Each structure stands twice: as C-alpha cells, then as structure tokens.
C-alpha cells in the first residue's frame, strides 16, 4: 500500500489470475472531485473511453435513494452529440460488482438500463457532472477502435459488464459513495497506472 502525504490518498493492489486490481481511495483528499477527474482524463489521454452507466448501481444498500435520471442522461448525451446506446435489462434484487453481490435499495423503478457512451479528453467535460454524481464504469481503449466498435462491444456484453475488461487497456469503476477508484488491468500496465495516479496527486498539492 502507498500513502501519499497529509492530503491523504491510499493506493493498494491485488493480483489474481485475471491481472491486477489497483484500489485508489481518495476520500481523504481536499480536492477529491478534481483529483478523480484528473486521473480519468490522464488515463484516457489520446484514446477513446467507453463509459457505462448501470442504473442498478445508482442506489443500493443503506445509501440515500436517488431517482434514476436515465431520460435526463439520454437527453444530455443527444444535445452534446456524444455517441451512445441504451439497453433495457432485467430487474434484479441485487447486483454483482467485482464478484461481490450487493443488495439494492428498496427504490422501485419501472425498468433498469445500461447506457454506454463514448468520450475523449476533449468532450469529457460535457459529462463531468455525471462523473461526480454517479457510479460509472470507464473502459480505456488503446487499440484505436472507433465509437461504433466500442458501442458494439457493449452490445455484446451489457449483461456482464465486467467481462469486457480483458479487451481494454484498463477498466475503472468509480464508487462515489466511498470515494474509491478500482482500476483493473493486465500486470504489465499496473505500474504505469500507479505512476499516473501518483503524479495526479502530486500536481494537486
């Protein structure tokens, strides 16, 4: 585990047969939202990023329940001219995140959805309000795929989102409830990811 100074940031890693998960806990930082956005932008770099919203992850456990703003998001993506696809999924009483089952809250919604949208570092700012409000998945592509190719990958995997991680440079899940980034990657990419996180922290001191 790495601890970065009084402006507290905790970074630790776990390795298994699938690669490395890097846990970045930024709840102790004074500029936590700014740090989170900076890390995401640095990780995207010159690549495209497939961002995935699973409406089942908007509320669970004992957290304050939120209205699922699916239509608001879709409207915003359309106005912003950001490529997206929306999929209706079966309603379930619990969801799985990194192999852990999490019971949902009691909030009742008519339907559950997965929405995928593709951004780069230049239009990322248009969706920052959702980055700071919602738990989202970020799949960073460094293979030069286009928007339609990335959305097609989601079309094939939207019922098992975590299964896509092996096809990307890295997968990032941001849990706004506990101020934590979980970055899944191949072993050979883990050190570069940690260095990026450390650099972002240093530049915000």
- What local confidence, expressed as pLDDT, does residue 62 receive? 43
* The token pair that represents 94 in the structure block: 């619990």
- Cα–Cα distance between 112 and 79 in angstroms, integer? 23
| pLDDT for residue 42 is more than 90 | yes
Q: How confident is the model at residue 107 (pLDDT cuts 50, 70, 90)?
A: low
CA distance 190 to 56: 29
Structural domain total, the chain: 1
Task: Answer yes or no: is pLDDT of 99 > 80.
Answer: no
For residue 70, give its domain range.
2-203
Residue 67 has a pLDDT of: 53
Give the model's pLDDT for residue 106.
44
Mean pLDDT along residues 4-10: 70
pLDDT score for 65: 46
Greater confidence, 84 or 2?
84
Statement: residue 64 has pLDDT above 80: no
How does residue 95 score in pLDDT terms, banded at 50, 70 and 90?
A: low
Mean pLDDT of 35-57: 94
Whole-number average pLDDT of the chain: 86
Lowest mean pLDDT among 19-23, 50-54, 84-88, 160-164: 160-164
**Whole-number percent of the chain with pLDDT over 70:** 82
**Prediction pTM value:** 0.86
């Amino acid at each position: 585990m790495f601890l970065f100074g009084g402006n507290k940031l905790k970074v630790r890693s776990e390795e298994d047969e699938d690669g490395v998960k890097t846990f970045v806990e930024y709840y102790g930082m004074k500029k936590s939202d700014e740090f989170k956005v900076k890390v995401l932008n640095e990780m995207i770099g010159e690549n495209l990023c497939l961002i995935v919203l699973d409406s089942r992850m908007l509320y669970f456990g004992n957290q304050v329940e939120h209205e699922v703003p699916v239509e608001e998001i879709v409207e915003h993506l359309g106005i912003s001219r950001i490529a997206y696809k929306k999929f209706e999924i079966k309603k379930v009483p619990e969801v799985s995140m990194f192999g852990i089952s999490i019971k949902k809250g009691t909030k009742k919604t008519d339907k559950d959805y997965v929405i995928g949208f593709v951004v780069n570092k230049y239009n990322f700012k248009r969706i920052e309000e959702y980055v700071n409000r919602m738990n989202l998945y970020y799949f960073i592509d460094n293979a030069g795929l286009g928007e339609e190719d990335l959305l097609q990958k989601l079309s094939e995997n939207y019922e098992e989102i975590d299964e896509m991680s092996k096809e990307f440079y890295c997968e990032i899940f941001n849990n706004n409830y506990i101020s934590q980034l979980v970055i899944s990657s191949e072993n050979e990419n883990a050190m570069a990811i940690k260095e990026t996180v450390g650099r972002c922290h240093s530049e915000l001191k």
